[in-house]
Amino acid sequence: MSKMRKEVDFLVVGSGVAGLCFALKAANFGKVCVVTKSKIDEGSTRYAQGGIASVVYQPDSYEKHIQDTMVAGDELSDRHIVELTIRESTERVMELVEWGVDFDKNQDGSFALAKEGGHSEFRVLHHKDITGYEIEEKLIQAAKRNKNIEILENRIALEIITQHHLGIEVTRRSNDITCYGAYVFNPATNHISTVLAKVTMMATGGVGMVYEHTTNPKVATGDGVAMVYRAKGAVRGMEFVQFHPTSLYNPKESPSFLITEAMRGAGAILKDAAGNSFVEKYDERGSLAPRDIVARAIDSEMKRQGVDHVYLDTTLIPKEEIFAHFPNIYAKCLSIGIDITKEMIPVVPVAHYSCGGIQTDEWGATSIRNLYASGECASTGLHGANRLASNSLLEALVFSHRACLKALQTLPSLGFCQEVPDWNSDGTVLNEEMVLITQSKKELQTIMSSYVGIVRSNLRLQRAFDRLEILYRETEDLYKKSVLNPEICELRNMINVGYLIIKHAMERKESRGLHYSLDYPPYHPNK
C-alpha cells in the first residue's frame, strides 16, 4: 500500500469530547485514526465553561431534567431521544470521573452542582469555570496513552468517500450511500491521503465562524456538516443557531470570550447602562430565562436604546464565590481593566451553538451507511429549537457511546473498498490571490450577521440568499482551479453551511425557539 493510502478500522474526524470519547471506546476493538484540523486540544470543548448537566442527587429527577429539556427546545425536541439521553446521563458522567475528570466537590465530598438558565434544579457538574478544558485534557491524556489510537494533527478532512468517487451517481434520494473513509489533506506537505475506514465518525464541532462574532474557536467552520451535505447525506435544523446572551464586549478580540450562564445562576443580573434590570419585561424568569429569550431581550434593548452592548451586574455575587467558582472570568476581565467584584461586565450576544446538523438516529448513525456523527455537528433530536444550557457535553458523551455500540455490531462484516481512487489534483494551479478568499470570508460573515442573526425576516433571508449564491459560484470555481490550502477548504465549507442555515430558515414558516422571524407570530403550543 502506498504511503498515500491508509487503512484503519475507525476514522474519527475531530478531537473534542465527541471524537475522543468515541476513539477511546473504539480503540478496545480495532485500530483508530483521529484526524484533527489544528492541534488536538483546539476545539470548542476546551472553551465550554459552565459544565455538564446530569441528574446526580435528589430532589432532582430524570423526569425534571427531561421536562426542562423539552420546554427549552420549544417542544421540537424528540421526546424519545431526550428520555434516553437523560436516563443514560449519570452513567456517562461517572465514566468521565473514571477517566480522571475532577469535578468540583463540597466539603462533604458530594458534587458541587450549579443551576443555569432553564433548569429547575441544581444539576450542572463543573470544574471551576473551565469544565470543558478539564474534560478535554483528561481525554487527550487517555488517548495519547492508547496504543491503538493514532492522532494526526493539522490535517483537513476534505470529503467523505462514497460510491460517487467510484463513478456511481449518488442523489439525495439514494438510500444506499455508503462511506468508505475520507480524503485527508496535509497542508505542510500538500499531500492528500486516501484514508479507508470500516467506520467513520464525524465529530467536527460547530459553525460559529460563519458569523462575525462568535465564542467558537477559529476551527469551527462547519466542515462535517458541509462534507455530509455534499455527499448527499441528511442535514436538518440548521436554522436553529443559538446566540449566547453574554459574551464579553471586547470588539477587537476573536473568538469572543464567553461569560458563563452559571454567573446568572449565582445571582448576576442583566442591566442597561443606567443600571435598570430589563429581561423581566420579556419573560418573568428574568435573567435566568432560556438563552433564546434572553438573547432576543438583549438584542431588542440594544436596538431600542441604540447601543452596542448591555451589562451583567456581577457585584451581586459574593466576592468569595467569584474567586472560588469564576477565577478565569475574573482574571480575564481584570486583564482589560474591569474588576467584576466592583464593576458590571459589558456583554453582547454572539453566535455560540448550532442545534441543527447532520441527522442521526438514536445510535448516532447518519443517513449514510457506516458513517456516524456526534457532538455539535450532529442533530440527534435532543435540542429541538433551542439547547438547554450544559446539555451539549452530555449529548456528545451519550451518542459517542451509543455510536460505538452500534458500530461494533456491524464491524465484523465490513471490509475496505479497494476500488477507491486516489485524489486527483490535475489541472490545478497555485492560487496567489489570497485576497479573493479573505474578502469572500468577510462578506459571508457580514451577510450572516446582518441578515441571519437573532431576529430575521423573509426580506433579510432572501437578500442573504441572493448574495450568498454569488459567493458560492465564485468559491466553487476558485476551489476547482486552485492547488488546495486550508483557507479555501474552510471558506467552501462555511458557504455551504451559510446556505443551509438560510435555506432551513426560509423553510420554517413560524417563529420558534432560536428562529425568530418578524413575519411570523411566535409559536404557542397551547393556543
Q: Hey, CA dihedral for 473, 476, 481, 482, is it positive or negative? A: positive
Contact at 8 Å (CB) between 349 and 303? no
Examine residue 526 and state whether it is found in any structural domain, yes or no: no
Cell numbers at residue 68, please? 426542562
Nearest to 188 by CA among 152, 146, 224, 160: 152
Res. 524: pLDDT tops 70: no
For the chain, give percent helix, strand, coil, nearest 5. Answer: 40, 20, 45
Segment 338-354, tens digit of pLDDT: 999 999 999 999 999 99
Examine residue 205 and state whether it is found in any structural domain, yes or no: yes
Same domain, 160 and 285: no
Nearest to 244 by CA among 264, 226, 223: 264
Examine residue 419 and state whether it is found in any structural domain, yes or no: no
Res. 221: pLDDT tops 70: yes
Contact at 8 Å (CB) between 92 and 401? yes
Same domain, 409 and 442: no
**Calpha distance 385→387 (Å, rounded):** 7
Examine residue 222 and state whether it is found in any structural domain, yes or no: yes
Same domain, 136 and 41: yes
Examine residue 131 and state whether it is found in any structural domain, yes or no: yes
Res. 1: pLDDT tops 50: no
Examine residue 216 and state whether it is found in any structural domain, yes or no: yes
Planar angle of CA 259, 262, 265, nearest 5 degrees: 125
Cell numbers at residue 193, please? 491521503
Mean pLDDT of the chain: 93
Specify the amino acid at residue 246: T
Helix (H, G, I), strand (E, B) or coil at 119: coil
Nearest to 422 by CA among 199, 193, 177: 193
Per-residue pLDDT, 331 = 96
Which residues are paired to 7 by β-bridges?
196
The order of strands in the sheet holding 357-359 is 235-236, 357-359, 378-379
Same domain, 333 and 208: no
Q: Does residue 291 have an active-site annotation?
A: yes
Examine residue 301 and state whether it is found in any structural domain, yes or no: yes
Query: Which residues are CB-contacts of 319 (< 8 A; sequence separation ≥ 6)?
Result: 341
Q: In the listed set 365, 382, 413, which residue is the last one of a domain according to the structure?
A: 413
Segment 467-515, tens digit of pLDDT: 999 999 999 998 988 889 999 999 999 999 999 999 999 999 999 999 9
Segment 251-293, tens digit of pLDDT: 888 889 999 888 998 999 999 999 999 999 999 999 988 888 8
Q: If you search the block for the grid coordinates 478580540, which residue do you land on?
A: 253
Q: Which of 92, 123, 264, 291 is catalytic?
A: 291
Tell me the average pLDDT across 395-424.
Answer: 96
Per-residue pLDDT, 3 = 59
Tell me the average pLDDT across 463-470.
Answer: 97
Percent of the chain with pLDDT over 70: 98
Cell numbers at residue 141, please? 491524556
Task: Give 526's pLDDT tier (boundaries 50, 70, 90).
Answer: low
- 392 HSE (CA, 13 A, CB side): 29
Q: In the listed set 350, 375, 396, which residue is the last one of a domain according to the structure?
A: 350
Q: How far is CA 97 from CA 54, 134, 139, in A?
A: 13, 11, 11
Q: In the listed set 310, 332, 350, which residue is the last one of a domain according to the structure?
A: 350
Contact at 8 Å (CB) between 155 and 486? no
CB atoms within 10 A of CB 481: 11
Same domain, 189 and 262: no
**Calpha distance 98→345 (Å, rounded):** 37
Per-residue pLDDT, 71 = 93
| Helices then strands, each counted (H, E), the chain | 14, 17
Res. 208: pLDDT tops 80: yes
Dihedral class, residue 165 (left if φ above 0, else alpha if ψ from -120 to 50, else beta): alpha
Examine residue 522 and state whether it is found in any structural domain, yes or no: no
The order of strands in the sheet holding 345-354 is 241-248, 345-354, 310-313, 269-271
- Torsion angle, alpha carbons of 498, 359, 153, 142, to 10: 140
User: How do 156-161 and 378-379 pair as beta strands?
Assistant: unpaired
Tell me the average pLDDT across 308-328.
Answer: 94
Helix (H, G, I), strand (E, B) or coil at 109: coil
Number of compact structural domains in the chain:
3
CB atoms within 10 A of CB 92: 22
Specify the amino acid at residue 403: A
Tell me the average pLDDT across 84-109.
Answer: 95
Same domain, 227 and 116: yes
Task: Give 113's pLDDT tier (boundaries 50, 70, 90).
Answer: very high
Domain that holds residue 72: 5-239+355-413
Same domain, 112 and 233: yes
